[in-house]
Amino acid sequence: SQQGEEDPQALSIQEGENATMNCSYKTSINNLQWYRQNSGRGLVHLILIRSNEREKHSGRLRVTLDTSKKSSSLLITASRAADTASYFCATDVYGQNFVFGPGTRLSVLP
Amino acid sequence: DAGVIQSPRHEVTEMGQEVTLRCKPISGHNSLFWYRQTMMRGLELLIYFNNNVPIDDSGMPEDRFSAKMPNASFSTLKIQPSEPRDSAVYFCASSLAGGTSYEQYFGPGTRLTVT
């Protein structure tokens, strides 16, 4: 099974609403990253959060990390149609390579 | 900055043929990664280089796959012979340094179809 798994697999919301995606992982991590992938494109880095951090913000994005629960969440506030994409969390296994989860497909409807 | 450059963007080949995918990382980046993305298996790390040296190739599926990085500005991923199950999107990514404290910059990918 995956080191990191996003939940839900798919999410459909109306423009202006908030979108929350979760990532659960199994082993201890040093860092966790969130990426976005638009259809047919490469992944784009959104936020990196370290194991000693609990929350980070970047524009309309807010990421939280709960190492006791081995979970992270990505919140996109005031969503826009342009936020439609797949979102991936990437966790490092024992500080080695990043392992990407299967992703959450977000659809923001106008 | 041009970002990570991959070529070709699309490749269609017949089973048994050799396929070579190319990547130019961002200048100044010391780490390079090759990934494969499919619907069934998601995004898988195939191999990564640090300072042109292969560090971890445990994700390379089998001996048909090989990767090289002859210098800091160029890497290739070769599949020989190719098989239909190799059909996927192959991404190259680079980062400033090794480890997991740095973001990875992904190229646009090469969509490979093996018939």
Question: For B46-57, what is each residue's pLDDT tens digit?
Answer: 999 999 999 889
Q: What is the mean pLDDT of chain B?
A: 94
What confidence score (pLDDT) does residue A6 get?
85
Which residues does chain B have within 8 Å of residue A100's beta carbon, measured at their own beta carbons?
A: 35, 42-43
Cis peptide, bond prior to residue A8, ω within 30 of zero: yes
Q: Please report which confidence band the pLDDT of residue A94 belongs to, taking 50, 70 and 90 as the band edges.
A: low
Which residues does chain A have within 8 Å of residue B26's beta carbon, measured at their own beta carbons?
A: none
Q: Which of residues 14-33 of A touch B (CB under 8 A)?
A: 30-31, 33
Percent of chain B scored above 90 by pLDDT? 83
User: Mind listing the pLDDT tens digit for each residue in A11-68?
Assistant: 999 999 999 999 999 888 889 999 999 998 999 999 999 999 999 999 999 999 999 9
Q: Sheet harboring A55-58: ordered strands across?
A: A4-7, A19-25, A71-76, A61-66, A55-58
Find the length of chain B: 115
Q: How far apart are CA A85 and CA B26, in angstroms?
A: 24
CB atoms within 10 A of CB A68: 5
Q: Please report which confidence band the pLDDT of residue A95 belongs to, taking 50, 70 and 90 as the band edges.
A: low
Percent helix, strand, coil in chain A, to 5, is 5, 60, 40
**What DSSP character marks residue B102?**
S
Confirm if A86 and A36 have CB atoms less than 8 A apart: yes
User: Mind listing the pLDDT tens digit for each residue in B18-66?
Assistant: 999 999 999 999 999 999 999 988 999 999 999 999 988 988 988 999 9
What confidence score (pLDDT) does residue A97 get?
76
What confidence score (pLDDT) does residue A2 get?
53
